[in-house]
Amino acid sequence: MSLPDFVIEAKGLVKTYPASKTGPAKTALKSVDLAIPRGSVFGLLGPNGAGKSTFINILAGLVNKTSGTVKLWGIDIDEQPRSARAAIGVVPQEIAADVFFTPRESMETQAGLYGVPKAERRTDEILAALGLSDKADAYVRQLSGGMKRRLMVAKAMVHNPPILILDEPTAGVDVELRRQLWTYVQALNAQGVTIVLTTHYLEEAQALCDTIAIINRGEVVACEPTGDLLRRFDSRAVIITPKTPLTAVPPLNGFEGKLKPDGRLVISFKADTAGIEDVLSAVREAGIGIKDLSTEEADLEDVFLALTYNDPNAIDPTAY
């Protein structure tokens, strides 16, 4: 059997939650089409309530879709649900572990649930990779929050799935533990495991993900390689610290400026229509002496805000 080009394929995926005593019916996913390439580190981003968790829960078999099709590792989840879901390991947002088990016992139990033969289990190897060897026989209740989250990752890997879904994996994790987690995840990806990541740490997604999809109000509003997505919003800003404090923004030939409370002048522009030298020429023509300057480029946070909250063509220069 040849390996699939796309490890997760959703076509026309709809999920509508019925009306209840507490509120009307709600459509969480609106005809979502998404294809996640094999071997990628794929970012699935969106504001709270956008539909990310519903999408993941459908993949995990925790939520039934209303309509549409979903394939995992080329297997339809309706036709062969057990085989399809054996292809994924899911690390949920919530920490769910029996506090009266040890990490080793938790791992062995999870492996048993997936039918992994004892001779093929990699409990100690996975615990070591996630820095949990010295806690392997401690009760889970004695672990820190960061260690419990790493244990969740370990449990998701017991059956050696080709797809790992990480739903907010570094929430509440300190910087060093986050670094260790990403080192392990990147090593898994280098071995061929496809990583699907949701996170509110957008700088993390920008650094790690080669492809990013953004969901807003149940719809996919963007799905592109990370570099292409950033280039769509090729906005830059020059931040000028003037020699003499400004009280108002002077006329700037061809540009608009904005004065910050600390007296710095921010001039934003599109990189495909102007350059920094053009901006500096306009500043000099306005008679502004430059004490210092810096430049900023649009990052994933700017793109995210533009696609989910603002006009896609409007990036607020005061963000710089």
The residue that leads in pLDDT, 315 or 96, is 96
Q: What is the pLDDT of residues 175-217, one digit of tens each?
A: 887 888 888 889 999 999 999 999 888 888 999 999 999 999 9
Q: What is the pLDDT of residues 84-139, one digit of tens each?
A: 999 999 998 888 778 889 999 999 999 999 999 999 999 999 999 888 999 999 99
Q: In sequence order, what are the residues at sequence separation of 6 or more whose Cβ sits closer than 8 angstroms to the Cβ of residue 178?
A: 170, 204
- The CATH number of domain 36-53+89-230, selected from 3.40.50.300, 3.40.50.2000, 3.20.20.20, 3.10.20.90: 3.40.50.300
Alpha-carbon distance of 8 to 10, in angstroms, equals: 7
Helix%, strand%, coil% for the chain, nearest 5: 35, 30, 40
Type of residue at 233: F
For 33, which DSSP code? E
| Whole-Å CA distances, 171 to 200, 225, 243 | 8, 25, 43
End-to-end CA distance of the chain: 51
Alpha-carbon distance of 255 to 233, in angstroms, equals: 18
Asked whether residue 310 carries a pLDDT value surpassing 70, the answer given is no
SS3 letters for 94-153?
Answer: CCCCCCCCCHHHHHHHHHHHCCCCHHHCCHHHHHHHCCCHHHCCCCHHHCCHHHHHHHHH
From 202-206, 240-244, 251-255, 306-310, the region with the lowest mean pLDDT: 306-310
140-160 burial, b for 16+ CB within 10 Å, e for fewer?
Answer: beebeebbbbbbbbbbbbbbe
In the chain, ranges of CATH 3.40.50.300 domains? 36-53+89-230
What pairing do the DSSP bridges indicate for beta strands 257-259 and 265-270? antiparallel
Q: What is the pLDDT of residues 14-31, one digit of tens each?
A: 999 999 888 899 999 999
